[in-house]
Structure 1
């Protein structure tokens, strides 16, 4: 197979990409040095764009923030590494919906091993609804204006695009499961869309002309997966409102706030075991927009990816685990070496498993790659 579509350039939401492969936003939990080495390998491996996950829309004690000099300089470094390899970079702007005050009361139990990290996740998820429902309008407006300020800083740091993270706080406001407000930010689908729409509008006003991707987290009932995000039946309300607010492309995936294995499904997942497991959500979104759509979800087989792109079902394919397993995925296709690709097993052992065990996001192929590099 020639992989002509994968390797063909595309005009993606107001920006030219050299091919159709995007590195999906990923939480790494690595040292700066290791993180930058991963970014370098992925950029040099040939993908068209890297989405840098979890860029906060305010000052942060836990994450690298554009709002302090050190964080800003770090992101400039990331951008330079990518641009040196002719790879575009997108900043995923997000606001956490974890109630930090609530979190502090669980820390002693966690340290004394009275509660497990999984139980902590459940407890924090239970805090989301009261946090979102009781948030003051003053705080809402402060966070929304933070999206605009962060976008302006991202542009200054050299990012080519920004993505508004439609899960986390945007997704929790969108979801009737978490949002029980009675003001204009709650109730009807239009009102629950307001927070996300205003966040996008703030970005659009701050960086007119800069492409805005929206990570559209879709919640599925029947069977039930995800608690935040947009329930399938409400896509006809949300998608046009987001597009009118300034979104130029959609990155479509499953909503979160349930087990992480659902949004990062292993090959033995009871429901999302198939490669391309989230593409059906792209089909649903397609009914309400003509904008470019990026699909994601266990995409490791180049033949399948080529097929989905060539048919026009999606315009770009995003992958994280596959590019961790083999950063040279695109270059190998270009050089006619498809059979030499280390194909992601979707085992989740060292990527999601490593992150959960606080050892950082790694891959079972890492040792093999080091050996190959030595012998090269």
Structure 2
């Protein structure tokens, strides 16, 4: 059973030992606790771990490839994964948060007049003016930095690069946030330019590196997500990204709305079903033959096997399920599917723990 899940696959130029990928996840943990999470997930049998939010420049808010301590941190993560026969992908991103605009909210946050839930929409309101008014020179510097960061990522030992299609790439892509009147704004082709240049910068520096693209899709009727690519514009974005050098697509819902939309609980009014974002994979498939990785409510091995066997997706990405049971893959391999701790998509200790500054955990943890 579960032969497709366990079959090795060439994912955009990188051979994976099976079809299961750990999706990029924010943990909010100490380094040692994070390393232990990575060790358990890698040892549990998944084929690749995507390390989320690797900055394309120096950073005061997270680990960066551009300083010795950050570089060593990523090397440690890669070493842990590789020791467990698990590939590692660096999700390169540039934040679209306006740091200067954020500062005005700091007093309110410190005095608890502004909660973290209230802060998120306030920061989202700052995105449009930041993207729209960004100097042309700075835009070019950032897209070029993706190439520089990719070189460092390869030097550190990463096996694949993923371009984060939300964050700044997604905000430039979105007509909701991008009101520019130069070559980066207006038409879908122009709004795709930032992401295309970011991909091209990586491809120019690393001609043979597999490049995954986190394709964040914005949905209307009903409206979910504010950044990313609207469904009707996928026919423009997907071919342009492929031509620029993308070798696979990781497809999901666009961000910049409530976190419970992009990380939906089981009782979500629209995305409560298993495989809740796979309909976006179906739409992307119309415009490319490249491998597609699906994500969203993928917990049941029978369901996942069918999606893979039918060719609807080529790989399945999970975060909460592998937090609930890092040994998901190994249990299938050893004939113990009945022993899997199934993620119930309650969001209590994962998203809830992160929002409460307690770190990303799971109700199954002792």
Q: Which moved more, 1:351-360 or 1:107-116?
A: 107-116
Q: Which residue of 2 aligns with 1:318?
A: 317
How many residues end up aligned between the 2 structures? 366
Q: CA deviation at 1:117?
A: 1.1
Q: Which residue of 2 aligns with 1:61?
A: 60
* Structure 1 residue matching 2:100: 3-state secondary structure: helix
Q: CA deviation at 1:206?
A: 1.2
Distance 2:317 2:74 in 1: 21
Q: Which residue of 1 aligns with 2:345?
A: 346
RMSD: 0.4
Distance 1:297 1:50 in 2: 16
* Structure 2 residue matching 1:177: 3-state secondary structure: coil
State the 4+ residue runs in structure 1 displaced beyond 6 angstroms.
Answer: none
* Structure 2 residue matching 1:19: 3-state secondary structure: coil
Q: Tell me the TM-score normalised to structure 2 length.
A: 1.00
Distance 2:14 2:213 in 1: 15
Q: In the TM superposition, what are the counterparts of 1:1-376 in structure 2 within 5 Å? A: 2-367=1-366
Q: CA deviation at 1:110?
A: 1.0
Distance 2:205 2:150 in 1: 7
Distance 1:55 1:247 in 2: 18
* Structure 1 residue matching 2:181: 3-state secondary structure: coil
Distance 1:128 1:206 in 2: 29
Distance 1:19 1:112 in 2: 49
Q: CA deviation at 1:145?
A: 1.2
Distance 2:116 2:68 in 1: 32
Distance 1:296 1:29 in 2: 22
* Structure 1 residue matching 2:360: 3-state secondary structure: coil
Distance 1:184 1:276 in 2: 37
Q: Tell me the TM-score normalised to structure 1 length.
A: 0.97
Q: CA deviation at 1:113?
A: 1.5
* Structure 2 residue matching 1:90: 3-state secondary structure: strand
Q: Which moved more, 1:27-36 or 1:106-115?
A: 106-115
Unaligned runs of 5+ in 1: 368-376
- 1:255-294: per-residue Cα shift (whole Å, max 9, x none)? 0000000000000001000010000000000000000000
Distance 1:205 1:363 in 2: 41
Q: CA deviation at 1:302?
A: 0.2
Distance 2:205 2:157 in 1: 15
Distance 2:206 2:105 in 1: 39
* Structure 2 residue matching 1:253: 3-state secondary structure: strand
Q: Which moved more, 1:110-119 or 1:7-16?
A: 110-119
- 1:183-210: per-residue Cα shift (whole Å, max 9, x none)? 0000000000000000000011111100
* Structure 2 residue matching 1:226: 3-state secondary structure: coil
Distance 1:306 1:144 in 2: 38
Distance 1:113 1:75 in 2: 34
Q: CA deviation at 1:242?
A: 0.1
